[in-house]
């Protein structure tokens, strides 16, 4: 089974997600204790898209967030660089527009979307600044970016508990129920290696986004970052 390393070679990362596509959403539910559903709802609400707008959902996976947007009447494009995820998503929601694409080389014209969102995928983009700049390129001036990503709890005691969970619960459970448990070794490593909230905000500014802000979910286990295209 494929697993990625922290150098985040695109072929390795895509292959890893191909391997876990069929059980990806189930594993998310199990490992997050069901909280991932609330995090995705918060992301969709933060986008604030209305009927008639066009939204790009990057790292869309099987289309969980894309479906929620489309069900609100929003024109939604689900894009993922894992062809396994795209295939799985199309089989579940053939009415959605799925496309395979690399976040660092998006197959869309400038100023195409009113909003772009990426949930639990930005830390897999390499180089991350290239991806953020591409997201800005395809977003209309004044358009929104919403990033939902694992982060760093600001309260150290809670952060220590969270790291204990990652090391002592996530890995054993994934080994028991996942078709590719090594993929969840990468999940733990990539979460712990990822910048904190201020670090991600700095990356957004460096990539040319404006009005950058964030709010914590679940005590900072996850952060919801927002920005506006100039």
Position 5 in a domain: no
* CA atoms of 209 and 219, how far apart (whole Å): 25
pTM over 0.85: yes
Position 151 in a domain: yes
Q: Tell me if residue 210 falls in helix, strand or coil.
A: strand
Position 104 in a domain: yes
For the chain, how many structural domains are there in total? 1
Position 1 in a domain: no
Model pLDDT, residue 2: 59
Position 188 in a domain: yes
Domain that holds residue 165: 10-228
Q: What is the DSSP letter of 2?
A: -
What is the domain-level CATH number for residue 209? 3.40.50.150
Closest-CA residue to 137 (of 220, 208, 186, 196): 208
Q: What is the chain's pLDDT, residue by residue, as a tens digit (230 residues)? A: 556 788 888 888 888 887 877 777 777 777 787 899 999 999 999 999 999 999 999 999 999 999 999 999 999 999 999 999 999 999 999 999 999 999 999 999 999 999 999 999 999 999 999 999 999 999 999 999 999 999 999 999 999 999 998 888 877 777 666 666 676 788 889 999 999 999 999 999 999 999 999 999 999 999 999 999 99
């Amino acid at each position: 089974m494929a697993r990625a390393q922290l150098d985040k070679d695109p072929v390795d990362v895509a292959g890893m997600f191909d391997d876990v596509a069929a059980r990806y959403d189930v594993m998310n539910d199990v490992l997050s204790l069901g909280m991932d559903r609330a995090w995705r709802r918060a992301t969709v609400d933060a986008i604030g898209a209305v009927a008639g707008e066009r939204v790009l959902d990057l790292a869309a996976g099987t289309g969980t967030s894309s479906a929620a947007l489309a069900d609100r009447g929003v024109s939604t494009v689900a894009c993922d660089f894992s062809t396994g995820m795209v295939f799985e998503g199309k089989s579940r929601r053939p009415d959605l527009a799925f496309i395979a694409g690399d976040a660092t080389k998006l197959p869309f014209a400038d100023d195409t979307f009113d909003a772009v969102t990426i949930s639990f995928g930005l830390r897999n983009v390499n180089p991350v600044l290239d991806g953020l700049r591409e997201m800005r390129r395809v977003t209309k001036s004044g358009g929104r970016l919403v990033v939902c990503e694992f982060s760093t709890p600001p309260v150290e005691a809670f952060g220590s508990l969270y790291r204990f969970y990652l090391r002592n619960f996530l890995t054993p459970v994934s080994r028991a129920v996942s078709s590719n448990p090594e993929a969840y070794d990468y999940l733990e490593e990539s979460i712990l290696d990822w910048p904190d909230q201020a670090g991600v905000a700095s990356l957004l500014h460096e990539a040319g986004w404006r009005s950058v802000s964030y709010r914590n979910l679940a005590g900072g286990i996850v952060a919801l970052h927002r920005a506006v295209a100039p």
